[in-house]
Structure 1
Amino acid sequence: MNSFSSPMLDQSIFDNANESLVLGDFEQAKHILSPYRHLRQNYQIMILLGIAMAGCHTPKEAAKYLCQAQQLIEKPSTHCCCELEPYLGRHYLHHLIFPVVDEAITLTPNDILLHVAKINILKHSGQFSLAVAHLKKTICAFPQHTNSLLNNLATLLYETGKYRSAYTLYKTLEDRNPNSFAVIANLAAYYNAINDVEQAFLYYRKAIFINPTLPALRLNYSLCLLKAQQYHQGWIEHEWRLKTPNHSSLPEATLMPSLTHDLDIKGKRILITQEEGLGDTLMYLRFVPELIKRGATVELWVSAVMEGLCRRLEGNPNVKVGGTTPPPFDWHCPFISLPRVLGAVPGKDGAAIPYLRAEPRKIAEWKDKLPKTNCLKIGIAWGGDPHPEDIAANSTDRKRSIPLYKLVPLLQSIKNAQFISLQMGAYAPQIHDLPASIHLFNPMDTVHDMDDTAGIIMNLDVILTVDTSVVHLAGALGKPVILMDRYDNCWRWISGQEYSPWYPNVRIIRQTRPKIWGDVIEKATSILQEMATKHQHKN
């Protein structure tokens, strides 16, 4: 087919193909794109075709298109094979990525970016030993890139919890090139992870001096400020997240400004939009009643699972569920921008705990469905959302989640307790691998939304969970929570503290070593056994 007889190429072709790839319908994407495969000077078509071919189990074809696309990009910073991860990774198809990368290496063996792509994809899929092995081979093959590859090795060591080894290597690289932006930024992240915020600030500011407009860097700096409880500056800096790719389609011109004492919002229509995870939405709902008190007409645009909880917020905001078209508004405000908006006025800390309410009918329904017992009723959640399509979120999830088998000693040893699962999603099937002697009651197969989960939680005595939406829901409902937290904790779980100002009813047990859960589980067992014993004596 020549270019004169080819179908018209417009944005809808890209949109339709991209939608099919996101859904995992690789054959459909291939069907959409095949009429345009002769357009070898269009790198976007080449990339989408490469992804479709990879999903259709044709790695040689996929590699050919992706390498063709790579040659069309001026001064690339990554290889086009990296584009495979967001699409195939979301469907847990990493095993289809590596044959494509290996075929691409056969085609262009001297492309350093391709070898780095393979290292990173191995790392992101949790194959750390293979990543290190390929990295070492790459250093031998490309000695002129030794420093940048050693920086990758340090990051690998960091990801595997070998913090001291990573630090030693970062410092060696810094000594070789004190102005290396990549090394400085990585040292900032390292110091933030070990909760040395002063050193983290020092390195973040060095990095910002070198590259002041990089959104990802400024976002990470904001998280460091928030971890140090420098909230006013942190919230302002946190707005850099809105400049990251695919964050919001609503116009920046109508983003809600920060309130001042003389800014009257009475009668203003404010659309508050959900962003990032459910846990974030649950946390920032505390700020909504303050806008309603000031006379604003507030509409919350949320997912269906949040609808009931949102409708019962103080002030009874309007609630829009799903869809792609926003209702009319004067200003829009993502949930995570609310503390920035309120930062300079009374009410800046939001509503007091509890600020969410479970539906009384749901509480009663779940009381009848849960086991009848006088034992201490302990709700348990051990995993977050893996987000396989999001590399950074997936990495965090691997650190925060605990495989259920590691909690078997806790489940077996606590007397006078009834455990009730609150786990949804990818980690829930681990229940089936428990020893027969452990009875973990699982009501979650009949849970439809957060209203159901809230109804269950209100019938429990205490919640044991990792850092996922369950801790936010239980915390906002005012229930006692024990949080088993990772070493490099999220900013909201204050470093070096057992309690957070955001949820005073949450007790934090944090790893003392990266990726090691043993002492956390031991301490949680001791606390829960003491609670169970006291509960028994009360009854």
Structure 2
Amino acid sequence: MAKWVAAMRQERYAEGWALAALTLAERDPATRDDPALPYHLRWVWDGTPVDGRHVLVRCYHGLGDTIQFARFLPLLAARAASVTVEVQPRLLELIRTVSDELELRPFDPAHPLPPSEVDLGITELDFVLRATPAVTPVPYLRAPAAILPRGTVALCYGAGEWDAARSISPQLFAPLCRHGPTLTLVAEPAELDVLNPSGCPFDIGATAGLVAGADLVITVDTMIAHLAGALGRPTWLLLKSDPDWRWAPDRRTSPWYPSMRLYVQPRTGDWKSVLAEVERDLRARTGRAERQA
């Protein structure tokens, strides 16, 4: 796993896919899509080629994973006879903007769709297609932009329960609110000085509109980061010192989202240093914008 992570972070994709192929070859076919396992721990694709076949794409992971790998769906549709995507209901309308050639079905964990000619997990698409992030244009999602004051910065400090260490105390974001209009993208009341103190609606369409309308998104590693990157919005991503595989801690940029800048903890748990750097950069950015106005 460590070799695969290193290869993917360093954009040595062919090496990463070769390692994935070795893992696939070692798997017991009887354990494919094992109903005894939680969905996020299952493996789906058995190596069957997708060309000219009816393909079912299963979204078994988080909302951010679906958004990240949805970029490859048009490539899959160009090669397969048909593509059905079993997608989380909250994402249905958003994923619909990726391509007109997809049949989208809501994923009901209690009643998953029956197998198709080829089944695969959406997070396997790069491996299945041997496609790098660079082959897909960004933005690849679309959303009507909310009308917001000029210079609005959208903030997200909560990363949910999956990994509590990704979240940041909202009070550390308070200094960012002094440099212009801000809003929260967290679905809870905010104590910060924001345009929407009652919080962001728990609705992907409304959230996407706020992201699309903001001049800048500053977020922890959660679905919001992928949403902002997929919409092509300027995004500052705040990361743990040992971030998830898709982010390289020694880099400022991400091949997955060209509009994204990475801010990584210098030490485990040190969010204060991260936010201090973010505030310095935001102050400089705001000053440049005012001079250009």
Q: How does 1:41-80 map to 2 (within 5 A)?
A: none
Q: How does 1:8-407 map to 2 (within 5 A)?
A: 219=1, 222-230=4-12, 231-236=16-21, 246-248=37-39, 255=45, 257=47, 259=49, 265-266=51-52, 268-323=53-108, 324-326=111-113, 329-343=116-130, 347-349=131-133, 350-358=135-143, 360=144, 363=145, 366-367=146-147, 370=148, 373-374=149-150, 376-386=151-161, 393=162, 397-407=163-173
Mapped contact 2:220–2:239 kept (Cα < 8 A) = yes
Q: Deviations over 1:208-235 (max 9, x none)?
A: xxxxxxxxxxx56643443344432354
> 1:499 aligned to 2:265?
no
**By percentage of residues, which structure has more strand?**
2
Q: Deviations over 1:420-460 (max 9, x none)?
A: 11113xxx34x24x4xxx33524745342x22211111111
Query: Structure 2: how far apart are the matches of 1:237 and 1:510?
Result: 32
- Quick one: higher RCO (CA 8 Å, sep 6+), 1 or 2? 2
Matched residue SS, 2:290:
helix
CA offset at residue 248 of structure 1?
4.5
Aligned-partner residue type, residue 246 of structure 1: L
Query: Structure 2: how far apart are the matches of 1:284 and 1:319?
Result: 15
Matched residue SS, 2:182:
strand
Of 183, 196, 199, the match for 1:420? 183
Aligned to 1:446: 201
CA offset at residue 378 of structure 1?
0.3
CA offset at residue 337 of structure 1?
1.2
Query: Structure 2: how far apart are the matches of 1:471 and 1:443?
Result: 21
Q: Deviations over 1:19-64 (max 9, x none)?
A: xxxxxxxxxxxxxxxxxxxxxxxxxxxxxxxxxxxxxxxxxxxxxx
Aligned-partner residue type, residue 275 of structure 1: Y
Mapped contact 1:227–1:494 kept (Cα < 8 A) = yes
Aligned-partner residue type, residue 45 of structure 2: L
Q: Deviations over 1:158-196 (max 9, x none)?
A: xxxxxxxxxxxxxxxxxxxxxxxxxxxxxxxxxxxxxxx
Query: Structure 1: how far apart are the matches of 2:112 and 2:223?
Result: 27
**Structure 1 length as normaliser, TM-score?**
0.48
Mapped contact 2:241–2:249 kept (Cα < 8 A) = no
Query: Structure 2: how far apart are the matches of 1:224 and 1:377?
Result: 36
Aligned-partner residue type, residue 410 of structure 1: L
Aligned-partner residue type, residue 71 of structure 2: R
Aligned to 2:244: 490
CA offset at residue 334 of structure 1?
0.8
Matched residue SS, 1:446:
coil
**Structure 2 length as normaliser, TM-score?**
0.84
Q: How does 1:450-461 map to 2 (within 5 A)?
A: 450-461=204-215
CA offset at residue 496 of structure 1?
0.8
CA offset at residue 325 of structure 1?
3.7
Matched residue SS, 2:247:
coil
Mapped contact 1:421–1:443 kept (Cα < 8 A) = no
CA offset at residue 277 of structure 1?
1.2
Of 458-467 and 438-447, deviating more is 438-447
Matched residue SS, 1:504:
coil
Cα distance change of structure 1 residues 456 and 327 upon mapping to structure 2, 3 Å threshold? farther
Cα distance change of structure 1 residues 234 and 510 upon mapping to structure 2, 3 Å threshold? farther
Query: Structure 1: how far apart are the matches of 2:22 and 2:63?
Result: 22
Mapped contact 1:310–1:317 kept (Cα < 8 A) = no
Identical positions, percent: 25
Structure 1: which 5+ residue stretches go unaligned?
Answer: 1-218, 387-392
Cα distance change of structure 1 residues 521 and 475 upon mapping to structure 2, 3 Å threshold? same
Cα distance change of structure 1 residues 325 and 519 upon mapping to structure 2, 3 Å threshold? closer
Structure 2: which 5+ residue stretches go unaligned?
Answer: none
Mapped contact 2:166–2:239 kept (Cα < 8 A) = yes
> 1:532 aligned to 2:291?
no
CA offset at residue 402 of structure 1?
0.4
Aligned to 2:218: 464
